[in-house]
Amino acid sequence: MTNSPKIAVCPGSYDPITNGHLDVITRASAIFDEVVVGIVNASVRKKAPLFSIEERMELIGGATEHLGNVRPLPFSALVVQFAREVGASTIVKGLRAISDFEYELEMNQLNRHQAPDIDTLYLMASPKYSFLSSSGVKELATFGGNIEEYVPAAVAPLLQERLTR
């Protein structure tokens, strides 16, 4: 009997990565042998990303470099296909509110139908990040708000440079 490493995928657009995302990724890294941060390269439910896939990979890589078992990878397929490609048996998602739950329940049912062997693990947002979203951070940055406590250090100046009016 072999002891295969337990690999999880944390999928998202990460445009940009927030401290809420980082909290979920960090907590997942304590549970799994390896965490692959799957960066959606072509989302069907969101508009074009502010940051390129290369920029998002670099920002996530920098924000997670202290975690020895985390690596960012782009993907453009179904998340369950991507999970299989990287050898993951679990998809990890963060939940902030009831609205997240409703969407994630639907996605879970579709994913389970496609890949019954891949589980989804939901981590509740830490209270200090339960309101935090990439779109909210982008809106704050657009109007010159202070975003430094909401995103990793390298993200704030880039975001403010691109969005401040």
DSSP string of 98-141?
HHHHHHHHHHHHHHHHH-TT-EEEEEEPPGGGTT--HHHHHHHH
Contacts of 54 (CB under 8 A, 6+ apart): none
> What is the sign of the dihedral through the CA atoms of 144, 148, 152 and 154?
positive
Considering the chain, what percentage of its residues have pLDDT values greater than 90? 83
Give 88's DSSP letter.
Answer: -
Cα(111)–Cα(122) distance, rounded to whole angstroms?
14
Q: What is the pTM of this model?
A: 0.93
- CA-nearest of 13, 66, 5 to 37 is 13
- CA-nearest of 73, 8, 88 to 41 is 73
Q: Which residues are catalytic?
A: 21, 47, 96, 134
Greatest Cα pair distance, the chain, in angstroms, is 59
User: 43 pLDDT exceeds 80?
Assistant: no
Q: Which residues pair with 50 in a beta bridge?
A: none
Confidence at residue 97, expressed as pLDDT on a 0 to 100 scale: 84
Average per-residue pLDDT for the chain: 93
Confidence at residue 37, expressed as pLDDT on a 0 to 100 scale: 98
- CA-nearest of 62, 63, 76 to 13 is 76
Cα(7)–Cα(81) distance, rounded to whole angstroms?
14
Confidence at residue 2, expressed as pLDDT on a 0 to 100 scale: 59
CATH number of this structure's domain 7-130? 3.40.50.620
109-154 pLDDT per residue, tens: 999 999 999 999 999 999 999 999 999 999 999 998 999 999 999 9
pLDDT band at 5 (very low <50, low <70, confident <90, very high): confident
Over residues 60-65, mean pLDDT: 97
User: 3 pLDDT exceeds 80?
Assistant: no
Domain edges within the chain: 7-130
Is 128 within 8 Å of 149 (Cβ atoms)? Answer: no
